[in-house]
Structures are given as C-alpha cells and as structure tokens.
Structure 1
Amino acid sequence: MSLDFPFKQHSLCALFCILSGLGLSKWSVANNTASAADLNKAPSAVPQGMLSLEGMYHPTKKLSFETVPLTQLSWDKQDRLIESQTKDGITQLFVINPDNWEKQILPLDGNLLGILKTAAIDDKQALKIAEKLAPQISPQISVYLFNYQNDIWLLDLKNQLARALTSTPEVAEDEALLSPDFKSVAYLKGNDLYVTDLASSQETRLTSGGSETVFNGRLDWVYQEEVYGRGSFRAFYWSPDSQRIAFLSLDETKVPLYTLAGEHAQPLKTNLTRYPKAGDPNPLAKLGVVDLQARLSWVADPYPGQESLIVQVGWTPDGKLLSAWQDRVQTWLDLRINTHNNESKLILRESSPAWTERLPLPHFLKDGSFIWESDRTGHRHLYRYLNDQGKFTLQAAVTEGDWDVRHVYGIDQNKGKVYFSANAHNPIGVDLYATNLQGGNPQRLSSEGGAHKVRWNASFTHYLDSWSGLRQTPKQALFSDNGALLKLVDDQGTPENMRGLKLATLKQQQIKARDAHLLESLLFLPPDFDPSKKYPVYQHLYAGPMAPQVIDRWTSNLWHHFLAQQGYIVWILDNRSASNKGVVSAWPIHKKLGQLELQDQLDGLEWLRSQGWADMQRIALNGWSYGGYFTSYAMTHSQAWKIGLAGAPVTDFRLYDSIYTERYMGLPKDNATGYDQGSVLKAAKDLSGKLLIMHGTMDDNVHPQNSIMLIDALIKNGKDYELQLYPNSDHSVRGDWETWSLQKAKWNFIKNNL
C-alpha cells in the first residue's frame, strides 16, 4: 500500500484516508442517546456553523469541501509556459508570456472528443477517453496512446485521427509505452512483451514463455506493491536510442496461492493471488534485454545461489544498462552497470545497521559523473561520484546535515547547481533548495511554509511552485531561479462550503519523549475549548515506518473538525519511526515492530496528561492498515486506551507479505522472538477496552485472515469485539454507500463507548 505524501513511501503506508467530510453536530459527548433515525436528518437541520455526518458522507446529500482546482500549467521543451484548458472534451493550449501574462493560443486542434467520435468510438467511452487524455496534451507531442475494447489505440493530433494499433479484442493488451523517438509502442499481451511499429502497424512478439506464473515485462503482486510502487505493473524500460528494451522476468511458480472466496456474489467471485508471506518463497527475478527484432539476452546473475531482489532498472544517457539489487532481507543495495557479454560490474554498495531503502537511480552529468542519493548517514543526502573511464569514485558529499533530501528536481550544469526539495527548515514540510555541485550551504528558495511541489523549465531559469500548509489553502505561483515571486497565479482560499463553519483550533507542537527525542504532534481543539474542563480524546495514527501523519499541508477533510465540534480533542502523534526525519529515526525498530512505537505513543499520552484538560480515562485510538495493526497491538499490550478502531489490521507479521515484513523484521526463522513480541494474536488474552474491527472481504493486501484469526483468538480467550465487514471491498473501503456505512459505524462506536 502507498500514501500520497511528499515523502518516501512504503507499502504498508496505505493509510485508509477516512478523514474526509463533515460530521454530526447534534450530539455532544454528554449525549450519547442519538438513534439511528437521527443520522438521516437533513443537513438543513444542523445549527449554523456546525458539521453533520450526513453532509459529509451520505451518498446523495453530501457536500463538497474541496478547493478549486489549480490552473493547469506546464513547461514545454522550448521553455515556453503552457496553460491547458479542457471543456466538453475540447482541449486548448495557450502560450503564456511570463512578463505580462498575455496568452496566445497554440495552433493545435485539441478537439479530442470529435476525433474519437470520428473513429466510431462510442460517445460515452469517447468522453471518458478524452477526459483521461486531456491532462497529457503537450505542444511538442502529437501522438498519444489509449485503450479501447481491449486494444491499444493511437491518437494522432497532427493528422487528426484515432486508429487501432492492435486488433485482438479477445486478448487484452496493457501497459503500453511509446518509445523515446515516438516510432514504436511496447506493451504486454498476457505475460509477454510485444512491440508495434507506428508507421506500418506491424506487431512483433519480443518474448515467449509468459504464463500464469512467469511474467515477462510485468510485475507480480508483491514486486508491484512493495518494490516498484502500486498503480503500474509495467516492468520494461526503453533504451534512450529506442532500439532495445530492458525488462524483468518474474517466475512465481513456487509462491503460495492465497484465496479470497468472493462470497459477496453467487456464483462466487473468487480471487486467487500468488502472495508470499514472511518466510515464503519469493518470485525469482532475472533481467533481460531484447531488441526490436526479438533478439534476447539475459544479464548474468551477479549473486548465484543467493536470494536477491532487482529493485531498479534503467539506462545511462549513453545507453548502458543500470540495475540495483538487494539481498532478500534488504540489508544492502548494489548499483550495477552492464559491461560486455551480459556481465555487470559493481559501481557502489549501500548498507546499514538495520535495512537499506530502495534508492533512486543516479542523476548523470555530461562528463559521465553522477549525483547519487544515499541514506548512509541515516539521513538522505546527495553525493558526487566521478567517472574515470568507467571507474566510479566518490568525490564528496553535496549536501549534509540532520535533515533529508526529498526529491531531486534537476541539475543545471551551466551554473553548477542542484535543485532539490528537503525538510531542512521545517521537519513536517517540504521546501525548495539550490546548492552547488561542489557542496556548501544550500539556499532555501521557497519562502512560505508548507509542502511545496515544483516544476522547473528545461533551462532552470523559472519554476512553478504549488504549495499549501496546515492553515493555508493551495497556492500556485511563478518564480525566477533565485526564488523571486513573478506572478501569483492561484490562491484558492477557503472552499465555499467551509466558510462560516466553526472549525477546530489547530495546534502543532513538538513534545519530548522519555529520552528527549522530539516527537511531532497535532491537536484539534473544540471551537469553544475551555482549558479548565476535561475532554475525551480521539487519537488517530498510522505509526508505520517513514509514514508521517503530522504534515504541513492543507486538507479539506473535516472528520477531525467534526469530532472537535462534538467536544472531543483530536490528537495525532508521529512516533519517531513514523516521522520520516531520516531513516536513522526508524532503524531502532528493526526486528521489533510494535514495541518502540508503543513507547513513544505512551510518552505522548503522558504529555497529554500533563496539560490538565485531557480525560485520560476516555481515550480512543484509530488506525487503518499499519495503523490498524498498531491500534490492535496497543489495545493488547497496554491499558492506556479505552476503545480502539482497527481497520484492516495485520495481527501477526507472519501473515503479511515477505518483502515489506522482512525489510523490518528479518526472516521468521531468524527472529521468532521479535515476531512473537510484535504479535497481536499471541496477546489476544490481554485485550483491554473495547475493539471495533473493520475489514474488506476482498482485501488482497492485508488479508481478512488477519482479522478472522484475531477474532478466533479473542473468542477463545473470552474477549468481546465488534466487527464491520465490507463485501467486495479491498484494502480501502470505496464506494459512496460503503463509506457512509463505515463512517456511521465509527461514529456510533465512538459516542456509545467513549
């Protein structure tokens, strides 16, 4: 699973974001007698300035609290600033003069809908395709790909036509990718790799042997989820000259099958997935290179007889194959470059006292040297490696300090500058910086706080910055390369439906753990907060490695504000391993998940106690995924929380997937004690307080097996629980009615038990 953070991401970070919407205003903490019928009262009955659960989540009556979308701006390869406007399937592009903001329409026919309809594509489907393609339209590109009726189609804006590139509707093609020269398209058919020449429409099969268990050019479930990132199963990579394709081949024959019964339908809609749990056989990976004539070669395995992972694949600018490999439990990472005879040589090795993160491929310079991102000090920093006829040596660190580089935007070799984002000035935010290739003190270019996302033009003379903060709605502006504001393009302001609401008071603070480590925290205080009173506390967390919840970024989600209106204090605390303040802050949890996270969270509660206004006998704990794990772990390993709301919890890490779990816990056979001490199942007899378990019945990530086994253990130990199942839902409960049901269940559980 993954989170959309401006930070590094991990699989079990897939926090179920249920912080959105409005909440009920009628009931106070003292009045827990509301009936189910009360939940269906119209939002108009809600007192002015108050939130209602129905107004947030009811499928037909909910309101929108989203900000107005930002102006769609981008840079083309000629350094022109382009604005894209799309309406009713028609896209128009404008060139903007940054000096006076005058707009000149580009002579590009963007009537996508008309072109698609001319190709006899169904009107409804044509509109969906046009809406999906519109954000991709760029003045320097005239051809685009889309899928229709299981075939790959080409949209050719220059010739004003759309045509099918494949004609096998009985077999789906997917993951299509144009070559860098825009002359060919590579794609997957089944589990093999194909290429089609755009001019002739001639198709060539590049690989064979793909099957239900052998994937050529396609990621399997665990590689997609835990290594390359959820959302794309593509595992092939064009060379810069468009003549070769590197690809992963994964053999999961020995990976165990996991069955999701699909009992939400008749006949059953069963889902069978090969899913390696901790200690199970992983898919066997190898790296191949194939040219457009289907001449195939395999890269020699540099670690024969060892279990390894191939975690990055790419090319140098001059066409040499790069790859990054890790051992099974990810204690080291090797960057390798191909030489001759399909051999590869080691460029560098990264290692750590715990685990090593998957690192980006190098950023190459014209002289063959490169900038490398590394966590070797416990913080992500940049390093310059020189190239002496193919021998790479470390020159120096480009950045250093007790902060982390988040993203490298680019390198201006003419000025000798590296542009990157980091958290050097704001541990919960993201700022833009520039520094010299030789190192030195970075220059902070962004002046306002918050989380910044930047797009530079090709010559690094100007950049677009879109940002927001905890108390700042999204903005977008144009800046010069030295950080000078040239034009404020968007300042969205408070959404209309939020104006006049009595929202919570936000307070962000750092608190000291027992060893004086500073923990990041956030409070939502009731609008009429009185420090002389006692308030029950609703605590939300994720707690998983490198996945913070205290982020200096705007959200239109109002669930926490609703709870504050009802008289609850909302408390969010990132334990140090979740803070993403350097992997050094997470390394101490290695081989003992749960234990140190609990220590930090208990320290946070002690700080709450010291404030005087928190009712320490009435604290709720809520989390999903890893947050669900920690909620159930905390409820069975302490007595600090009165109730727990655990969504899709891992209840024993022996039940979760191999690559994620072994990164942090090692193999079960080598760390039985750590697995036992982090287990919820083995501590079910110690459950303290009331527990609500929530799970989707088709969750292929954290299997429902986790909740079922926990329920079994609770029953056998005489412990009560409440259960909410979501038929046909996967790891995230989607759908308007499902979300409405979930939020009602959570609210009822809170007000009836806290």
Structure 2
Amino acid sequence: MKLKFTGVLLMLFQLSGMAQGTIEDYKRAKEIRSTFNQVYHVPQHIVWSEDGNSFSYRISSKEHKDILYLIDAVAKKKTAVDVVEIAKQMSTLLAQEVTLQTIPDRGLKVMRANELEFIERNSKWKWNTIENKLTKIGEASGQNFERRGGYWGVRGDDSKGDPVESPDKLHTAYIKNSNVYTAKAGDPKSEKQLTFDGSPGEYYTARIQWSGDSRKIVVSKIRKAEIRQLTLLESSPTDQLQPKLQTRDYVKPGDALPQYYPAVIDVEDGQIFRIDPTQVSDQFSLSNIAWRPDNSAITFEYNQRGHQRYDILELSAVNGQTKPLISEVSPSFIDYSGKKYRKDMDNTSEIIWASERDGWNHLYLFDASNGALKNQVTKGNWVVRKVIHADEDNRKVIFEASGMKKGEDPYLIRYYTIGFDGKGLKELTPETANHQATFNKNHTLFVDVFSRVDQAPQAVLRTTDGRTIMDLEQADITDLEATGWKAPEVFASTGRDGKTDIWGIIVRPKNFDSNKKYPVIEYIYAGPHSSFVPKSFYANPSGMYELAELGFVVVQIDGMGTSNRSKDFHDVAWKNLKDAGFPDRIAWMKAAAQAYPYMDIDRVGIYGTSAGGQSSTGALLFHPEFYKVGVSSCGCHDNRMDKIWWNEQWMGTVGKHYEECSNVENASRLEGKLMLIVGELDDNVDPSSTYQLVNQLIKNGKDHEFIMVPGMGHSSGGDYGEKKRRDFFVKHLLGVEPPAWNQY
C-alpha cells in the first residue's frame, strides 16, 4: 500500500511544475487554514455600561494573548484588564490554583470605567482596575448561560396557557373548554364565561391581552390547521444499534395555515367586537396585536398569503369598526421578512414605517390616528438597511444605509441621522468602508469597526453628531501577509441589461502565475433574503482561499434577485428562483476573463449550500453551456419540499412556476459533472429534496455522485464533504486524479 501511494506521490511531484492540483497544492491548502487567525487587534464582543460612559472589548494580540480593555469614553482612557493578577487573587479567595487565559464573556458587564463584573468558577466577580482588587459578589449557580436548544420550527400549542391577570390585579382571564372565561382574583366561584362558540377545531387562544384600564381583553379565535411532520431516519445513532425515527413540525408551501380572528371583549357587559373577516382573508400571518395607549382600539399586522399585501389594521374597541392604517401592496413580493420596520410613537400618535413603494427601501412617517402619510423620511436611489434608533424627543432617526455614494461599492454600510421631517441628513461614518457600529444605550456614542475585504479593520469611538473622539485599534495583518496571503480583489462589471453594476470578489492562490490558465470556481449563495459577497475584512471568506490553493481562481458574486439594491433588482427572483442571477454572474465572469485572460471560463465550476445547493445544481441544469462541474450540499432542489415562509416569500402561492424552477423536474437536463451532498438529519431543508433529485437523475440515466452523511444536519458536509468537494473539482476541472486517501 505504501508503494502504491509512493507511486502516486512521484507522479504528482513530476506534474507539479506543469499542472495544478498536485500533492504540494493539497498540502498548502491544508496548511493555509492555520494562517487565517493571524489577524490582530480587531475589537470583539463590545459591551457598553448601563450609563453609556464606558465600555469593554477584547482583542487577540500578536503574542497570541487575549486582551480585555476597559474604556473610559469620557476621559478617553484605555486600560488593559490584568488577567494574571485576577487569577492570583481568585486563587487566594478560592484557596485553589486558578489559571485564566482571559476574562470570559459569560456574564460580562461593564459597571463603570474602572469596574467590571464577570462569571468564573460558578461565581460572580467584580474587578476594580484602580484598586486592582477582585471581589467575590455571589454565586452564579442556577443561572443558565448555555445556549438554548430546541428545533427552530416547532409549533407551540396556543390553546393552553396560564390565567392572565388584569393590570389592576382584580381579575384573571383564561381559556377553558376552548372558550374565554374571567374570574375575580382568588375567587373561582365568580367565574364568568364570555364566549360560547369555541371548539377544538376553532378555539380561542390562551394569549390574552388586557387593556390598560382592566375593562377589556383582546383574544383571537383560531381556525386550526394540521401541521405537517418532517420525518427523518437516524441510521447510525450513538446510543443504540437500531436506527431511530425522528419527526419535526415542518410546514411546506401550499399547506393549510391557521387563521386568526381577533376579538375585543368587554369583561363587564360581555359585549364582543370581532374583526371583519373579509379584511383578513387568506392569512399567512396575523401578528403584533397591541392595545392603543388610550384603550380605544387594538392594532395588528396582517400578511396576506402570497406576500403581496401587508397591512397595519385597527379594530375599534368603541364601535367594532375594522380599518386599515397602513396598507402595502406589490405586484411582486413584499419583503416583510427582511425589510419590515415599524416604530409606534404614542406621544405624538405617529408611526415610522419602512416601505419599497418608491422602488427603494425607505422610511415614511404616518399619522397613527388615521393612517395619513405625513412625509417621506428618507429618499433617493439608495437603501435603508437598518434603523438603529428613532429618537422621539429630538425627532431624529439613526440608521444604516448603503448605495448613497456614487461610484463606490453600493453594498458598503454607512451610518446616518435624519430628521423625522426628512431634513438634515448627516453622515456619521465618512470612510469608504463597511461600518459595523455598536451604540451605547442612550445612542450618543458608538464604537465603529470598519473595514473592507481588501482593507484591514480599524476601530474608533464616535459621537452621533458625527465627531470621532478616540482612536481605538488598527488591525495588524503583517503576519498574515507574510505567509503570501493577498486580499481578494473587488471586481465590478455590468449585468444582463448592459447597465446595472454587478459586484463580486476574486480570490487567487498564493503561488499564482499569470502565465498559467486557471479554471474558475464560483461559490454561490443567491437567496433573495440578503446579499452575500463579503464586504468586511475576513481572511478566508467561505473557505475560498483553501480551494484556490489547489489551482483555481475562486469568485463570489451578487447577481440580480438578491437583496439590498433597488426593488427592480430584487424582483428578478419573484416566482423565478431558478434564475439565481445567472445571466449577471455569467456576464461578470466573462468581463473578468476579458480583463484577466488567465481565467479559463471554458472550465467553470460552482458550489453552494442550502439555497446555494439549489442554485449550484440549477447552474448545470439551466446553463450547461457555461457551468461544467457542480457540487451541491443540502440543496432545496424543489421549493415545494422546503419550509413555507422562505419559499412562499419569494415564490408566492404554489403554481406551475414551482415546477419550472424545480431541479427535480428538470433533472433530465443534466450535462455536466454533479456531486450531491446531504446530511440525513437535515431539519432545515428536507433531505428528501436531495433524494428525489437523485431518484430522477437515476431514472434519466444521468451520471452523478451522491454522498449522504449519517447523523449530520444542515451542513456543507463537514470535513469529509469538503475533501470530496475539492477532489471533485480537481478531477473534473484540472483533469488530475486526486490523491488516494485510503492508502496512507
């Protein structure tokens, strides 16, 4: 066996001077991972004090030490926490040897500029930097700092729940026999039934909300719907020989959904005002039920199935009238899952609301009493990415935006303030970079960590009136660069329409030689819920560098159909997930190859996971003239098989277009080389989606490779899957036989 492997090694070494994918390349790809942590002095885990005058953060230093700093934002002073001294004093207090490498994040609180609290050895501790004194302030047992487990899609039983006490504590309201009852507190004999039409199939929810004056309640009557169960077979459990069957709540596109009908009930006279059902027909969801401050009405949000109508509605508690306050309608989708923002300002009876009604995601100010539009707050051919804070006293909004600067990458996030009246726009972060801000509680100061994929991070302390008051850190990447690492290149070209700019990055191997020809591999994630090409500095985005070391140029692109650009840019995905921006991606790669002839676009591969798994297979099925080799992990290969919210958000209600976008239905189109990877316990994307694709490939006589990983959930395949993915590209794009791994 050793002789056989020696022969393989000899052959590969002989080829090393003339080809990629050699054993030297494999060795370098394996070793390069250890170099990516050589990025120092980047603030992590920023924690502000309650009063907003001090904060802490930690960095990794060149000496591979983790340093925690306390910052006095008023005095502009930075103090390193003495971990050695803390460990020494803790050893004395506990009468046992304690070694600390760092102060743990668990329970970390900044009390003031010279004092912090943290948890270690199941105890709470206080450290004072002026006195250099450690104090034990209590036990931490009983506090659960572990990450909560549980399945993301589990549906609770809202027909049951504890009695809900009125604000004046004189009454409780509760559910019994599917109906609503009240009773005086502590007097079960005073029980009073308020509804009589509840049943197990149409019950009243236990999520009861009292009005502030304790006179009325709001409760929803629910028309129940059966919940689909996802079935998973665990073939190789660790605690027994025989396989196990697992199930999950898993609602899919087209499934029936529960329907909610709020009702306001006067607990004294029993009068009931019910929602007008015609105004909330065919619900996808009905949410955020809340009482008006004056108890005159409730408001709630209604998302109509198909995601083309989204309303804020009001049900009067005085006359029972149902009326819309704000109504969003769209001929395509309303991106409620990614762009919805609502801020109710009770003192002025106003609502700040996010909308794409003018073709870009912006903020609008509405009169909350009647739904009248008062004014548009933000405007322009750019997008509001996130609202940080709506300051009612000063009538200003702090927000993230991108695309405001002409000529620069339109995805770079900057921070701004603007008045509720749409005037006084002010930029807070002037550097051409992707900014990530952490604000204090009163939104007067923020730590700004900014970088680009081709620019190392910096950190400064800023005020929300636009001043930089303290330099904090400048990242050190000299050790990383000394290994031969070079930053990705940001590249832009026009898309399918010949005018819209498409942005991406290019990663090359360390031993790059422009005289060679390099196959191109695209890492794809084209989900419409966001944009995905990294904008902040990261030494190894999506493992692209490790793959490049084998002899490839690796790229990542945001094509049309992804988010964070105009509404028209985004709408390409509507009922058309198979598009995945491919015409833009292909145009981008052709433009890159025109600029860099060493990029061989006659040999193009693609890989992705989840939605990227769907797209990477779709590349081979729908664009076989360009994409030749693909590796797809845990893909959603038919949108009817996946979770309801994600797929109906972009594809609408189930119709013929679902079949047209299905990799399963189009399996007969396969021409290139395809590898499919799936974890048998994937409860994010139903693994049967992959199995059904495999079934159709077999029925159509299409050659492919399939790897099912026992016990694995939603994943790219783990280390084994990564190894198989690299080998697949080396074999089919480079024409080199990968190492025989079993022989050493």
Query: TM bucket by the smaller chain?
Result: 0.7 to 0.9
Name the aligned partner's letter for residue 500 of structure 1. Answer: A
Asked if structure 2 preserves the Cα contact closer than 8 Å seen for 1:546 and 1:586, the reply is no
Asked if structure 1 preserves the Cα contact closer than 8 Å seen for 2:55 and 2:110, the reply is no
1:681 alignment partner, SS class: coil
User: Does 429-438 or 575-584 show the bigger shift?
Assistant: 575-584
Higher relative contact order (CA 8 A, sep 6+): 1
For 2:311, the equivalent position in structure 1 comes to: 334
TM-score scaled to structure 2, two decimals? Answer: 0.72
Residues 695 and 328 from structure 1, CA distance in 2 versus in 1: closer, same or farther, beyond 3 angstroms? Answer: same
- Among 342, 345, 351, the alignment partner of 1:364 is 345
User: Does 622-631 or 676-685 show the bigger shift?
Assistant: 676-685
For 1:101, the equivalent position in structure 2 comes to: 77
1:548 aligns with 2:531: yes
Asked if structure 2 preserves the Cα contact closer than 8 Å seen for 1:637 and 1:686, the reply is yes
Residues 279 and 138 from structure 1, CA distance in 2 versus in 1: closer, same or farther, beyond 3 angstroms? Answer: farther
- Among 384, 390, 400, the alignment partner of 2:365 is 384
1:98 alignment partner, SS class: coil
Q: For 2:606 and 2:211, how far apart are their aligned partners in 1?
A: 51
Deviation at 1:650, TM superposition (A): 1.6
Deviation at 1:260, TM superposition (A): 0.7
Matches within 5 A, 1:446-525: 446-494=429-477, 496=479, 498-516=480-498, 517-525=500-508
Name the aligned partner's letter for residue 708 of structure 2. Answer: L
2:472 alignment partner, SS class: strand
For 2:200, the equivalent position in structure 1 comes to: none
1:70 aligns with 2:54: no
2:335 alignment partner, SS class: coil
Q: For 2:140 and 2:37, how far apart are their aligned partners in 1?
A: 36
Residues 305 and 514 from structure 1, CA distance in 2 versus in 1: closer, same or farther, beyond 3 angstroms? Answer: closer
Percent identity at matched positions?
A: 21
Matches within 5 A, 1:546-625: 546-557=529-540, 559-595=543-579, 597-611=581-595, 612-625=597-610
User: Does 606-615 or 629-638 show the bigger shift?
Assistant: 606-615
For 2:54, the equivalent position in structure 1 comes to: 81
1:645 aligns with 2:618: no
Q: For 2:422 and 2:544, how far apart are their aligned partners in 1?
A: 43
For 2:191, the equivalent position in structure 1 comes to: none
Q: For 1:65 and 1:250, how far apart are their aligned partners in 2?
A: 56
Residues 729 and 378 from structure 1, CA distance in 2 versus in 1: closer, same or farther, beyond 3 angstroms? Answer: farther
Q: For 1:298 and 1:260, how far apart are their aligned partners in 2?
A: 45
Matches within 5 A, 1:677-696: 677-696=660-679
Deviation at 1:349, TM superposition (A): 0.4
Q: For 1:173 and 1:268, how far apart are their aligned partners in 2?
A: 23
Larger Rg: 2
Asked if structure 1 preserves the Cα contact closer than 8 Å seen for 2:528 and 2:561, the reply is yes
Q: For 2:652 and 2:158, how far apart are their aligned partners in 1?
A: 34
1:362 alignment partner, SS class: strand
Residues 595 and 162 from structure 1, CA distance in 2 versus in 1: closer, same or farther, beyond 3 angstroms? Answer: closer
Q: For 2:628 and 2:414, how far apart are their aligned partners in 1?
A: 39
Deviations 1:583-631 (A, max 9, x none): 3312133222213633223323432443333212211111111111111
Deviation at 1:394, TM superposition (A): 0.8
Residues 192 and 262 from structure 1, CA distance in 2 versus in 1: closer, same or farther, beyond 3 angstroms? Answer: farther
Deviation at 1:353, TM superposition (A): 1.5
Q: For 2:646 and 2:177, how far apart are their aligned partners in 1?
A: 29
Name the aligned partner's letter for residue 542 of structure 1. Answer: Y
Q: For 2:294 and 2:140, how far apart are their aligned partners in 1?
A: 32
Q: For 1:29 and 1:680, how far apart are their aligned partners in 2?
A: 38
Deviation at 1:697, TM superposition (A): 0.7
Name the aligned partner's letter for residue 349 of structure 1. Answer: S
Deviation at 1:339, TM superposition (A): 3.6
Q: For 1:541 and 1:209, how far apart are their aligned partners in 2?
A: 52
1:420 aligns with 2:420: no
Q: For 1:641 and 1:445, how far apart are their aligned partners in 2?
A: 43
- Among 621, 624, 632, the alignment partner of 1:636 is 621
For 2:248, the equivalent position in structure 1 comes to: 273
Residues 704 and 27 from structure 1, CA distance in 2 versus in 1: closer, same or farther, beyond 3 angstroms? Answer: farther
Name the aligned partner's letter for residue 353 of structure 1. Answer: P
Q: For structure 1, list consecutive stretches of 5 or more residues without a partner in the other structure.
A: 1-23, 40-45, 119-123, 147-153, 167-171, 176-187, 198-203, 211-234
Q: How many residues of Structure 1 are paired with residues of Structure 2 in the alignment?
A: 627
Q: For 1:67 and 1:237, how far apart are their aligned partners in 2?
A: 52
Asked if structure 1 preserves the Cα contact closer than 8 Å seen for 2:677 and 2:707, the reply is yes
Asked if structure 2 preserves the Cα contact closer than 8 Å seen for 1:433 and 1:446, the reply is yes
Asked if structure 1 preserves the Cα contact closer than 8 Å seen for 2:362 and 2:384, the reply is yes
TM-score scaled to structure 1, two decimals? Answer: 0.71
Deviations 1:322-363 (A, max 9, x none): 432111111110113454178764211011110112112225
Asked if structure 1 preserves the Cα contact closer than 8 Å seen for 2:36 and 2:540, the reply is no
Name the aligned partner's letter for residue 635 of structure 2. Answer: P
For 1:134, the equivalent position in structure 2 comes to: 107
1:724 alignment partner, SS class: strand
Name the aligned partner's letter for residue 329 of structure 1. Answer: G
Residues 399 and 32 from structure 1, CA distance in 2 versus in 1: closer, same or farther, beyond 3 angstroms? Answer: closer
Q: For 2:218 and 2:138, how far apart are their aligned partners in 1?
A: 33
Name the aligned partner's letter for residue 652 of structure 1. Answer: D
2:561 alignment partner, SS class: helix
2:666 alignment partner, SS class: helix
Deviations 1:123-155 (A, max 9, x none): x9xx9xx95741467679xxx9x9xxxxxxx99
Q: For 1:190 and 1:136, how far apart are their aligned partners in 2?
A: 36
Residues 449 and 239 from structure 1, CA distance in 2 versus in 1: closer, same or farther, beyond 3 angstroms? Answer: farther
Asked if structure 1 preserves the Cα contact closer than 8 Å seen for 2:257 and 2:284, the reply is no
Name the aligned partner's letter for residue 349 of structure 2. Answer: G
Q: For 1:245 and 1:74, how far apart are their aligned partners in 2?
A: 40
For 1:655, the equivalent position in structure 2 comes to: 641
Q: For 2:293 and 2:418, how far apart are their aligned partners in 1?
A: 26
1:719 alignment partner, SS class: coil
Name the aligned partner's letter for residue 511 of structure 1. Answer: S
Q: For structure 2, list consecutive stretches of 5 or more residues without a partner in the other structure.
A: 1-12, 60-66, 127-134, 166-171, 179-205, 734-744
Deviation at 1:164, TM superposition (A): 6.2
1:626 aligns with 2:608: no
- Among 408, 420, 434, the alignment partner of 2:417 is 434
Residues 432 and 363 from structure 1, CA distance in 2 versus in 1: closer, same or farther, beyond 3 angstroms? Answer: farther
For 1:9, the equivalent position in structure 2 comes to: none
1:660 alignment partner, SS class: helix
Residues 138 and 257 from structure 1, CA distance in 2 versus in 1: closer, same or farther, beyond 3 angstroms? Answer: farther
Matches within 5 A, 1:162-173: none
2:77 alignment partner, SS class: coil
Name the aligned partner's letter for residue 685 of structure 2. Answer: V
What root-mean-square deviation, in Å, do the aligned CA atoms of Structure 1 and Structure 2 show?
A: 4.9
Asked if structure 1 preserves the Cα contact closer than 8 Å seen for 2:607 and 2:616, the reply is yes
Deviations 1:151-175 (A, max 9, x none): xxx9999984568699xxxxx9999
Asked if structure 2 preserves the Cα contact closer than 8 Å seen for 1:322 and 1:336, the reply is yes
Asked if structure 2 preserves the Cα contact closer than 8 Å seen for 1:302 and 1:344, the reply is no
Deviation at 1:247, TM superposition (A): 9.3
1:260 aligns with 2:232: yes
Asked if structure 1 preserves the Cα contact closer than 8 Å seen for 2:236 and 2:242, the reply is no
Asked if structure 1 preserves the Cα contact closer than 8 Å seen for 2:606 and 2:630, the reply is yes
Residues 741 and 319 from structure 1, CA distance in 2 versus in 1: closer, same or farther, beyond 3 angstroms? Answer: farther
Q: For 2:19 and 2:80, how far apart are their aligned partners in 1?
A: 61
Q: For 2:439 and 2:464, how far apart are their aligned partners in 1?
A: 9
Residues 139 and 272 from structure 1, CA distance in 2 versus in 1: closer, same or farther, beyond 3 angstroms? Answer: farther
Residues 250 and 405 from structure 1, CA distance in 2 versus in 1: closer, same or farther, beyond 3 angstroms? Answer: farther
For 1:215, the equivalent position in structure 2 comes to: none
